[in-house]
Structure 1
Amino acid sequence: MEHLNFISDNLADVNSKIDQALAAANIPNKKRPCLVAVSKTQPKEYVIQAYKCGQRHFGENYIQELNDKANDQEIITQCPEIKWHIIGHIQTNKINKLLASPNLSVIETIDSVKLAEAINEAIKRNDLIKGTIDVFVQVNTSNEEAKSGIDPEHLVELVEFITTKCDRLHFVGFMTIGAYGYDVSLGPNPDFLKLLEVRETFCKKANVDQTTIELSMGMSCDYEHAIHLGSTFVRVGTGIFGPRKAKV
């Protein structure tokens, strides 16, 4: 395996930029965002190296790849406190494979009552998972038909369903992917602004303190901008691991 010091350097750089972005952010009740290292298509050695450098939260887009890495004996042995996030679309026929992934910590892509109910019932049948799993509701902020995520108009009823009917799911906040390639020199990303609006509207209706609701938005190209606007979870892949590896 190639020299892996670049991962340590990149992680230090990303964490420094997170701290700088937070310091510059004009937002109330600042708290340091959680960095999710997106290891999609990257080899397990990269995950282990990042873990050795202090990284704990890792995100995968595909359930099969998450399951393979989470069950890898080297990762299990060398990364005992790893926390896996699924950040890609979830098909109901893959739920059991998802839940068979050790150290699954966060599901960021709940976008329907049907999916929430199916995952909740599957957790009840799963001996591997004790207690609850943290979940985000994914919001389609860009109105793109090809994108997953719930329409903001139906968001409140989904959150209410999760909080009242899904005893094994713990709702923590909202997530968006947003439109790709937005030029932040044009001003605040409208998808990020939409997620802020979604949170504000929800909190008013539910009489909830906004600071208790997490926001997962921002990736390698725009995580600093997302932090300026109030993101509390950022998903960074190429900024840590370099270009994605081609699947063989």
Structure 2
Amino acid sequence: MDFGFSLRGSGSGPSVEAEKEDSIRTRLARIREDIERTCIKIGRDPNSVTVVGITKTRTAEEIQPALDAGLDDLGENYIQEARQKAIALPGARWHMVGNLQRNKVNLAVDLFECIHSLNSAGLIHKLDDRCQARNRKLRGLLQVKLGGEKTKKGLDPAQVLNLLDELKDKPPQLMRLVGLMTIPPPVDDPEENRPHFQRLRELLEEIAARNYPFWMGSELSMGMSDDYLVAVEEGATMVRLGRVIFGERA
């Protein structure tokens, strides 16, 4: 049976790798068009939304076509995976989107541009100490738990405010707190997550009204492959996309 492509070196058609690269380029173009259309509909600047490509379990060879197509920001769940991929894929901006263990703080400061999963004053201070030792600024987001899932990491909204109150006595210097992140529960209809996205935006506004001198928050990291356009409608400035860019995992 002829599938219209051949393996590399056969000389009879586009390679499997070329087919994959074309698919990723096409998917990214469609994502950008959808974000632009959504932003225009609600009066937002499309450039205010950053696409973070989630590369968990993906190889450097799978990721490279996305970089070639103009994707600059990549998100990883695990330090070791990020470390290996950062060597193979120089030039990308790396985001830590998984739970960060305190014994991995030094590596995290050296590797990442942004940590999406801050959940304690102790972790923030440990990161800040390393940032000061390295004379390096790092951006971070507080992870907020909104879906009522007991197994999920993060802080509920009241705990977020308590944490910020706690930080007033010893505010971070180079660990810049720039916003909030949430991972809502999986749903069949993306609209079911709209209330969670609305609540995160409201919490960001509530924090801004408190005028914490160390708070630099304007970022909302929310929305994934199934619900990112709803998140954009509710103010997302970062969307974390894996499957819709790279396809289904093997």
Instruction: Give the TM-score range, shorter chain.
Output: 0.7 to 0.9
Shift of residue 190, structure 1, vs aligned partner: 2.2
Identify the residue that residue 122 of structure 1 maps to in structure 2: 130
Q: Judge which range, 63-72 or 211-220, deviates more.
A: 211-220
Identify the residue that residue 224 of structure 1 maps to in structure 2: 229
Shift of residue 244, structure 1, vs aligned partner: 2.4
> Which consecutive unaligned segments of at least 5 residues does structure 1 have?
none
Matched, 1:34 2:40: no
Distance in 1 of aligned mates of 2:231 and 2:198: 9
Higher-RCO chain (CA-CA 8 Å, sequence separation at least 6):
1
Given that 1:40 and 1:244 are in contact with CA atoms closer than 8 Å, whether structure 2 keeps it comes out as no
Identify the residue that residue 52 of structure 1 maps to in structure 2: 68
Could you state the TM-score of these two structures normalised by the residue count of structure 1? 0.84
Given that 1:25 and 1:229 are in contact with CA atoms closer than 8 Å, whether structure 2 keeps it comes out as no
Quickly say closer, same or farther: Cα 1:163–1:84, change in 2 above 3 A. farther
Match of 1:171 among 177, 198, 202: 177
Distance in 2 of aligned mates of 1:184 and 1:5: 27
Shift of residue 219, structure 1, vs aligned partner: 0.4
Distance in 1 of aligned mates of 2:81 and 2:197: 28
Greater C-alpha radius of gyration: 2
Could you state the TM-score of these two structures normalised by the residue count of structure 2? 0.83
Match of 1:199 among 199, 204, 209: 204
Given that 2:53 and 2:240 are in contact with CA atoms closer than 8 Å, whether structure 1 keeps it comes out as yes
Given that 1:120 and 1:168 are in contact with CA atoms closer than 8 Å, whether structure 2 keeps it comes out as yes
Match of 1:2 among 5, 12, 17: 17
Q: Judge which range, 1-10 or 190-199, deviates more.
A: 1-10
Q: Judge which range, 9-18 or 154-163, deviates more.
A: 154-163
Identify the residue that residue 85 of structure 1 maps to in structure 2: 95
Distance in 1 of aligned mates of 2:117 and 2:218: 15
Shift of residue 137, structure 1, vs aligned partner: 0.9
Shift of residue 42, structure 1, vs aligned partner: 0.9
> Which consecutive unaligned segments of at least 5 residues does structure 2 have?
1-15
Output aligned runs, 1:236-247, within 5 Å. 236-245=241-250
Distance in 1 of aligned mates of 2:95 and 2:212: 28
RMSD: 2.5
Quickly say closer, same or farther: Cα 1:164–1:122, change in 2 above 3 A. same
Shift of residue 212, structure 1, vs aligned partner: 5.8
Letter in 2 for 1:46: E
Given that 1:64 and 1:97 are in contact with CA atoms closer than 8 Å, whether structure 2 keeps it comes out as no
Quickly say closer, same or farther: Cα 1:162–1:93, change in 2 above 3 A. farther
Identify the residue that residue 14 of structure 1 maps to in structure 2: 31
Match of 2:87 among 65, 71, 83: 71
Matched, 1:150 2:160: no
Shift of residue 39, structure 1, vs aligned partner: 1.1
Shift of residue 191, structure 1, vs aligned partner: 1.4
Distance in 1 of aligned mates of 2:47 and 2:206: 22
Quickly say closer, same or farther: Cα 1:26–1:201, change in 2 above 3 A. same
Matched position secondary structure for 2:210 = helix
Distance in 2 of aligned mates of 1:43 and 1:212: 33
